[in-house]
């Protein structure tokens, strides 16, 4: 799927790998630990490292943004070095060990981005009612409360979903091209949001 055109003014997106023939990662129980921390906070502990395995055909390329999980984006080390100064304003980059073909460890180097910033900026009266995990089919934001200075943030209603500000989505799209899917969730300009924002 092609990346949507940049939107004027504030906009919020969901980012995930494109549906091209590329490989993606599947996490082990470290993702469960992350979700517990996202939902409950202390005394739950945030993972300090993650493990995953590659999915997909061995001949397919390994992308630089290979995670489909809405709360656990993965960046290549190259991207992390390029974008780190922005990313660390809202969260933490943590090490990821990825296995490929059983016990073989991928040594190319990937990092999980854990977003620490939770911002109460949803217009709940105009948004869809949250589901059992907090997922909202339609999310409307309060423009004056939107943390536009951050690359990404989470919201209290859906703590296991990461929302990406438009300026960062545009920047990552310019680096990854067709290997990134950017789904528009909300914009201050007239827009049509993605019909299935949180599906894979």
Query: What is d(CA 110, CA 142) in angstroms, rounded to the nearest whole number?
Result: 34
**pLDDT tens across 184-193, in order?**
999 998 778 8
Higher per-residue confidence, 102 vs 89:
89
Mean per-residue pLDDT, 54-61: 93
What are residue 34's phi and psi, to 5 degrees?
A: -60, -45
**pLDDT tens across 169-182, in order?**
999 999 999 999 99
Higher per-residue confidence, 195 vs 12:
12
Confirm if 125 and 78 have CB atoms less than 8 A apart: no
Mean per-residue pLDDT, 52-60: 93
Residue 8 has a pLDDT of 63
For residue 1, what pLDDT band results from cuts at 50, 70 and 90? Answer: very low
Query: What is d(CA 135, CA 157) in angstroms, rounded to the nearest whole number?
Result: 8
Contacts for 15 with CB less than 8 Å, ≥ 6 apart = 65, 73, 162, 164, 169, 172, 180, 181, 182, 183
Query: What is d(CA 163, CA 150) in angstroms, rounded to the nearest whole number?
Result: 10
What would the 3-class secondary structure string for the chain be? CCCCCCCCCCEEEEEEECCCCCCEEEECCHHHHHHHHHHHCCCCCCCCCEEEEEECCCCCCCCCCCCCCCCCCEEEHHHHHHHHHHHCCCEEEEEEEEECCCCCEEEEEEEEEEECCECCCECCCCCCCCCCCCCCCCCCECHHHCCCCCCEEEECCEEEEEEEEHHHHHHHHHHHHHHEEEEEEEECCCCCCCCCCCCC
Residue 7 has a pLDDT of 47
Mean per-residue pLDDT, 40-64: 93
Res. 4: pLDDT tops 70: no
- What mean pLDDT is reported for the chain? 92
Residue 157 has a pLDDT of 95
Task: State the residue for tokens 């100064």.
Answer: 85
């Amino acid at each position: 799927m092609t990346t949507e055109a940049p939107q004027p003014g504030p906009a919020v997106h969901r980012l995930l790998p494109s549906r091209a023939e590329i490989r993606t990662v599947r996490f082990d129980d470290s993702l469960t630990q992350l979700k517990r921390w996202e939902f409950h906070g202390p005394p739950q502990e945030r993972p300090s490292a993650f493990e995953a395995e590659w999915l997909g055909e061995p001949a397919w390329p390994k992308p630089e943004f290979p995670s489909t999980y809405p709360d656990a984006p993965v960046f290549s080390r190259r991207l992390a070095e390029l974008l780190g100064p922005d990313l660390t304003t809202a969260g933490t980059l943590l090490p990821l060990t990825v296995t490929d073909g059983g016990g073989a460890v991928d040594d190319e180097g990937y990092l999980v981005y854990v977003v620490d910033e939770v911002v109460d900026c949803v217009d709940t009266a105009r948004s869809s009612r949250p589901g059992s995990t907090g997922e909202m089919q339609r999310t409307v934001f309060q423009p004056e409360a939107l943390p536009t200075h951050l690359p990404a943030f989470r919201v209290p209603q859906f703590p296991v979903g990461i929302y990406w500000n438009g300026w960062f989505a545009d920047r990552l799209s310019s680096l990854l091209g067709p290997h990134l899917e950017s789904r528009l969730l909300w914009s201050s300009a007239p827009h049509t949001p993605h019909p299935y924002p949180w599906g894979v």
